[in-house]
Amino acid sequence: MGTTVRSGPDLEGGAAHGHGCAHRHTGGDPVLIAHWTFDVGTVDGRRVADTAGTGPAAELGETAEIVPGRAGEALALGGDRRAVIPATPQLVLSQVFGFSVAFSVRITEEPIGEWRSLVYKPVSENDARGLGLWLYPDAMRLRAQLFTVKGPDYADSRTPLTVGEWTHIAFVVNTAGMFLYVNGGLDVAVPLEHAVVTPAGPIYLGSEPTKPGFGGLMDDLRVYATALDEEAVRALAEDQGV
């Protein structure tokens, strides 16, 4: 039975990091462990294959769709729409070795007065603690959150996303801290004073168990078992045309 700590952005507990710190990090060679392009050639019914070959297929909810994207196809989400990537051993994300989650997103709706989920990965399937990326209720800004052994810790982006435009997002974690990149540039960095509780549960894209999802498109979701450095993140963003 999981803890009753609530999922989603923690508005009262944890450390509030509006601007983060000036820490930088360096990474080794990127270790890509899963990659979902959402291109039509990877889709089989309601399942989207991992093109890296080691991760599970993403399972589309009843109302999630694969639609034309910027180049190829993309995942269309909004409201209660979601895709779920099942928990597997290779997708257990370790702070000790470092990990990174990167994707492109095109938000198609203005703020709606409540938090909207982009990506959520709980500690375990029935545990409310986890890694998450959400849009603010009243602004086109991101909150990235982790749970440490002392509670939630989060980073708030400074760069606003623009409705209707593609944005590349990368969230990088290592033993020094967490780093949020927007369009290839480091937007905010926050030191982590306590160990991160490993998020080993499934990955929710769009709506998660307690919150609606963002309205828009997601493309080129990648998960790395290493902490990408700034050069690697910039190369990903440039590859996505931002």
For 195, which DSSP code?
Answer: P
Quick one: CA dihedral 5, 6, 12, 14, positive or negative?
A: positive
β-strand pairing of 73-79 with 166-173: unpaired
- What pLDDT is attached to residue 193? 93
- What pLDDT is attached to residue 24? 45
Half-sphere exposure of 100 (CA within 13 A, CB side): 27
- Secondary element (H or E) of residue 116: strand 116-122
Q: What is the largest CA-CA distance in the chain?
A: 46
- What pLDDT is attached to residue 28? 58
Record the pTM: 0.89
- In angstroms, the CA 109 to CA 121 distance is 23
Tokens 């949020």: give the residue: 180
Q: pLDDT in tens for each of the 242 residues of the chain?
A: 333 233 334 433 344 454 444 344 455 578 999 999 999 999 999 999 999 988 999 999 999 999 999 889 999 999 999 999 999 999 999 999 999 999 999 999 999 999 999 999 999 887 888 999 999 999 999 999 999 999 999 999 999 999 999 999 999 999 999 999 999 999 999 999 999 999 999 999 999 988 899 999 999 999 999 999 999 999 999 988 77
